[in-house]
Structure 1
Amino acid sequence: MSKAKIIQNTFVSNDISVHYYEIKNSLPVLLMLHAQGTNALSFQNTFVELSKKFHIFAIDCPGHGLSDKNRHTYNIISIGNVIVDFIKSVILEPTYIVGHSSGGLIAAYTASHTQLCNGLILEDPPFFSCQGERRYKTFNYLDLSTVCHKYIELGCKEDFVLYYFENQKMWEFFPNNSREKIKSKLLNSAKKYRKKYPQKPLKVPFLPKNALAAYYGMNEYDPYFGESFYSDSFHADILHEDILKNISCRTLIIKAKTNYDDEGVLLAAMSDEDARRANELIPNSEITYFDCGHGVHIEKKKEFICTIIDFVK
């Protein structure tokens, strides 16, 4: 199968420079917004198939990839307004928007602030769960957000990728009697790989693909972005419900599997109740469920692509 030709460029709005990827053709436009900690190329596994149906744009959100790293812009208003301006100034026509996780929050804000959104696909976004006091009982807060906060608080200068790998919440899921041994062995492998391939996404033997997906793009990730979720400043005092009820375009919510640990921590982006609430708030919305983890486009690539194409028909 031939590869799609990917063009790279930058766009500047309100002194914020964002890097983006484009696959040009005369088909309907699809704008893709990635999850926290990754970058636009986290969607690259879908580019070839989707480019048969869409003219693709994929943006590195501020704090990620090759886009600006200015902590004062890490909020939904600043980033969302840049995306709105990007649609008006670069795309120049109505577009479909897909947003994964935090990219889904940004996509929802964007759709609520422009009439140039033909349709919105929200891949497992953390509506309600990551905002306010509820965030304290979520995996992302206890994992990436807290690790970012501690990294900044301690004034660490070491490789953030290794720091996150060593301090992530994932280790708690290993058996107590073998946890430290496994952690030590895998951490040693991670250090060797980082030393040999410092520019590549982290790979560690025996870890599944979906676990390593979190490291795709982490080389260029700014921990201050995670800090904005730790402090709740990312939302800029805008309630998710106020964003959702102002979306006028057709919307599809892609919901991944919901799990909780023994202490009631949400091991997912949002609960089933959150998804239903979001669906009720958006005037023209539907939900489709996937029996997989948070990275639906990675774990269920073919089904994800088919879902997007079917939604647009």
Structure 2
Amino acid sequence: MGCCGVCGNEAKLSYTVYGSDKPPLVLVHAQGTDSRSFDKVIKPLSRDFSIYAVDCFGHGKSPHEPSLYNIVSIGDALVRLIESAVGEPCALLGHSSGGLIAAYAAGKTDLCELLILEDPPFFSSQAERRKNTFNYIDLSSVCHKYLQDAVEENFVLYYFENQYAWNFFPDNARQKVRPKSIEAAKKFLKRHPERDLKVPFWPKSALAAFVGMGNYDPRFGETFYDDSFHCGIPHEEILTKIDCPTLFMKAKTEWSDDGILFAALSEEDLTRCLGLISDCELARFDCGHGIHVEQPRQFVQVIKRKRATLGHARI
């Protein structure tokens, strides 16, 4: 395992390398977490790939500079990483917002031979559509309020206290569980300020959202609240520029009773994506948004199977 930054005189992304002398696979995490989000699948993937696990700007060890919190700055830095640090044909995988970034980068470098999109929020996260998504009413809105109110409290604790997930509890249960869980979170963060949040009785899949959140800049979340992340680039434009084989991983699609999309993208959005990417295979997973966290074995199997079907000497 090695760790360093990238590349030339422009903004550099931090990344960690696992393994060597195997075909490269670049991993791009979702917002709010960092490259350690993929820890559960690093070992099985590294049997077939050399892994480059990236921290996006505003996350982990990469620069925390708000002017870089957009798809162009991160995507162009990712292209520089691939062309300078990886330096050979590779597979590129992005989860959630990382999928938007990976798709943008794939359209700008000839070194991406396989693109893997893990439940990316195409179309749903852009323009007015974004306001009817779980991310907007949850992380984006919490970030916005945290910044607007100039809250001095630790952001991880603030997010835990104010996350939308409390609405999934029945009223009576929420009144009992919420204060006890918040108190447990306060105690944990006071004792272990450098560690990822852990709270008794919270499922691992829910706590996965807090991996790396201690090194997350909520100003990144603000760019999804005000729609500045996309730099005005229509998602159609990003998708039509992808010319390498693509694997699209889709998690369950769920809606709230009042029309909020509790998923990265709708079935209609998915159909549009598949129609715009020239060579795209769909893989469905019966789980939530974090496929690599909730179904790691199936996640790895699907990637390896796709790689085998390509028949390339490297990828």
- Normalised by the length of structure 1, the TM-score is 0.97
Specify whether residues 295 and 13 from structure 1 end up closer, same or farther in structure 2 by C-alpha distance, changes over 3 A only: farther
Please, which of 131, 138, 143 is the counterpart of residue 138 of structure 2? Answer: 143
8 Å Cα contact 1:14/1:82 also seen in 2: no
Please, which of 84, 87, 109 is the counterpart of residue 89 of structure 1? Answer: 84
| Structure 2: distance between partners of 1:48 and 1:80 | 26
Specify whether residues 301 and 227 from structure 1 end up closer, same or farther in structure 2 by C-alpha distance, changes over 3 A only: same
1:1-313 matches, cutoff 5 A: 6-12=1-7, 15-313=10-308
- Give the C-alpha shift of residue 177 in structure 1: 2.4
8 Å Cα contact 2:4/2:14 also seen in 1: yes
- Give the C-alpha shift of residue 24 in structure 1: 3.0
* Residues 64-113 of structure 1 deviation map (CA, whole Å, 9 limit, x = unaligned): 00100000111101110000111111111111001000000000000011
- Give the C-alpha shift of residue 23 in structure 1: 1.6
Task: For residue 288 of structure 1, give the secondary structure of its aligned residue in structure 2.
Answer: strand
| Structure 2: distance between partners of 1:21 and 1:286 | 28
8 Å Cα contact 1:13/1:82 also seen in 2: no
Q: Which AA in structure 2 matches 1:79?
A: I
* Residues 49-77 of structure 1 deviation map (CA, whole Å, 9 limit, x = unaligned): 11110011011000000100000111101
8 Å Cα contact 1:252/1:287 also seen in 2: yes
| Structure 2: distance between partners of 1:297 and 1:15 | 31
- Give runs of ≥4 in structure 1 deviating > 2 Å: 12-15
- CA RMSD after TM alignment: 0.9
- Give the C-alpha shift of residue 206 in structure 1: 1.1
8 Å Cα contact 1:253/1:275 also seen in 2: no
Q: Which AA in structure 1 matches 2:103?
A: A
8 Å Cα contact 2:7/2:85 also seen in 1: no
Q: Decide which moves more: 191-200 or 172-181.
A: 172-181
